Amino acid sequence: MGATETPQEWLGDGPSTAALGRAGRFLRPLLAAFDPCFVGLDRVPRSGGNVFVGNHTMIGMLDYAILYIELYRRLGVTLWSLADHFHFTVPLWRDLLLANGTFDGTHENCAAVLARGGNIVVFPGGAREVTRRSGEQNTLLWGDRSGFARMAMANDASIVPVAFVGGDDWYRIVYDTNRILGTRLGDAVDARFRRHGMNIDGYVPSIIRGIGPTLLPRPERLYYWFGDPIDPAEFGDDPDDDVAVRKFRDAARDELTRGISELLALRETDPRRNPSSFVRHLLHRR
């Protein structure tokens, strides 16, 4: 990146039709394999300028990729997503990201996307939700993060809660991250991270397995739930008001928690969640 370039240059024009078409063809086997179930699609705004807020699951990019293509295929709704700046220092890789609507997640770029009528998807739990420990499945791990709510309020953007269930059950945790961090190796890695001003928490995944000893995901259906859009005007219009921002964030968190609970209850009575039914459905699709 040259000295005269600014972060806005890593904004792009959003998901292109060509990129969406390629993604749809690439993801077709995943759509057949994980048989996604969508609840509340009628609550998804057709107009743009919203912030979709979701929960990450273990190995969380696969379920997001299905959301990305299925919202476009079913409703014509496109999503922009944030990425760390370092991705855009890699030639070719950054071009692929930009073509699919992934941009350098600065405050200025977020405001520009929303001003254009783009929809941004945010996972406040970040890497920490992806690197789950034992017993943390299907829970939100946000800590005190509220930047997404402040950004939405600053740009008068509604928050659309979207809950994910299923991805946390693709794998079993064999060796927990907390046990890794308590070893000499973990201490050495932690010290190295701290020398660079980084916290290791969220960067070291647990050791997992899928089908048998492999990393092939277990046959689990994916479920998605959409809540009603949450208008920031209900909480105020001052993004510097920490109390108002926290209330806005908490409203989104409460809705997502409710959505996860509803999906878990739905899954318990879903005959297509049963592995044998799942396999029969997959063979029928084939």
The pLDDT, as a whole number, for residue 95 is 87
The pLDDT, as a whole number, for residue 279 is 59
Strand partners, 82: 103
Q: Which of 101, 25, 36 is nearest to 278 (CA)?
A: 36
10 Å Cβ neighbour count for 114? Answer: 22
The pLDDT, as a whole number, for residue 40 is 97
Using 70 as the pLDDT threshold, list the residues of the chain that sit under it.
1-8, 60, 198-199, 202, 274-286
The pLDDT, as a whole number, for residue 281 is 58
H/E stretch holding 223: strand 223-226
The pLDDT, as a whole number, for residue 131 is 82
The pLDDT, as a whole number, for residue 3 is 41
Dihedral angle sign, alpha carbons of residues 260, 265, 271, 275: positive
The pLDDT, as a whole number, for residue 2 is 42
Q: Which tokens belong to 282?
A: 């997959």
Q: Domain map of the chain by residue range?
A: 7-170+218-281, 172-209
Q: What's the fold here for domain 7-170+218-281? A: Glycerol-3-phosphate (1)-acyltransferase (3.40.1130)
pTM over 0.85: yes
d(C-alpha 233, C-alpha 196), whole Å = 40
Our CA angle for 227, 230, 232, nearest 5°, is 165
One-letter identity of residue 41: L
Report the relative pairing of strands 223-226 and 37-39 from DSSP bridges: parallel
pLDDT digits over 41-99, tens only? 999 999 999 999 999 888 767 888 899 999 999 999 999 998 877 778 888 888 888 88
Q: Which of 78, 236, 103 is nearest to 111 (CA)?
A: 103
Strand partners, 173: 208
The pLDDT, as a whole number, for residue 75 is 95
Reading phi first (left if > 0) and then psi (alpha if -120 to 50, else beta), residue 230 is in beta
Judge whether 281 and 272 are in contact, CB under 8 Å: yes
Q: Which tokens belong to 173?
A: 């945790």
Judge whether 245 and 239 are in contact, CB under 8 Å: yes
Judge whether 141 and 172 are in contact, CB under 8 Å: no
Tokens 């209330």 identify what position? 247
